[in-house]
Amino acid sequence: MATWSNAERMRAIVYDRYGPPEVLRLEEVARPVPKDDEVLIKVSAAAVNRNDTGLRSAEYFISRFLTGLVRPKRKLRIPGTELSGVVEATGPAVGGFAVGDEVFGVSAKTAGAHAEFVCLPEKAPLAHKPDGMSFVDAAAVCDGAILALAYLKKLQLGPGSKVMVYGASGSIGTAAVQLAKHLGADVTAVCNTENVDVVASLGPDRVIDYTKDEFMPRGATYHLFFDAVGKLSFRQCRPSLTPNGAYASTDLGPKNQNPFLALSTRFGKQRVLFPIPRYTKEDVLFVKGLVEAGAFRAVVDRTYPLERVVEASHYVETGRKTGNVVLTIAAPDSSPG
């Protein structure tokens, strides 16, 4: 049995081929060393999100042009993009973080968060953890919020704007409901019976249980129809849009509009939005401000220890999670005994 006494080693989840969650395994690997402009973070918690599972499975072949055509690139063999933790060490050029700082953010370019330690540049989408927020909640804040922001920023939402969020109980959906309300929109949230209470607690103007009621009634129109789970097509949603309304979906698959064409295509004055998300420090700081102001909170469905990442990934892939799934990670200071 491997031990973890070597200070230059760490536990990490790795995978060397694309496939189901079973390709993931726990290994002892070299602990990263921060470059001059990087911080070394001792990871306390890390989310398992759709981005993580999609890259691992290569569900959409196009993702392989970023991660490796035949197998994952070696620098990407440790998954995980959302994290929270404590700064363990800093490079000599780092001025904004110090050892002992509690931080949260996104490892957007190299992943690596499903491990005991990860290095991130100081300029990465990384910030000090909101005061009073747990590490588990902090690890669940960024991805859904930043993805939702990418869509909402495309429109000038404000008082009088009407937004429909379909799939309002997932990571992106729970974030979209809260962010759209913060922007002043009238928000209708759609989810199933099991999640009505959770979604209602996020502050939408109304919640529709799609298992009991018609969520696209005749005559109801929206400035934005946001399908946060990628289940509906533009064609299905178009009758529910205002003449200048926009449709957005998190699904880039073939059943929806081709993402490359949709970036510039208009159907009359109605728009199809497929923005390319960018993870920035500014977005992390924006969401942090909302958290500290009481205008945004993370929704966490389940937590799993690091070694149960396969089980966590299977649960995420059911499409039935409420909000976020988070791995709890502890880095032992010495070997057992």
- CA–CA distance, 106 with 283 (Å, rounded to integer): 11
CATH fold of 9-141+300-328:
Quinone Oxidoreductase; Chain A, domain 1 (3.90.180)
Percent share of the chain, pLDDT over 70: 86
Confidence (pTM): 0.89
Q: Which of 165, 147, 284, 162 is nearest to 220 (CA)?
A: 162
CA separation for the pair 121, 109 (Å, rounded): 11
Residue range 99-135, pLDDT digits in tens:
999 999 999 888 999 999 999 999 999 999 999 999 9
Spell out the domain ranges in the chain.
9-141+300-328, 144-273
Task: Find the Cα–Cα–Cα–Cα dihedral 150, 240, 169, 15, rounded to 10°.
Answer: -50
pLDDT in tens, 238-264: 899 999 899 998 875 655 545 444 444
The per-residue pLDDT for range 187-244, each reduced to its tens digit, is 999 999 999 999 999 999 999 999 999 888 888 899 999 999 988 888 889 899 999 8
Give dist(CA 9, CA 31) in Å, integer. Answer: 5
CATH second-level architecture of 144-273? 3-Layer(aba) Sandwich (3.40)
pLDDT of residue 69: 61
Please state, for a pLDDT cut of 90, what percent of the chain lies above it. 68
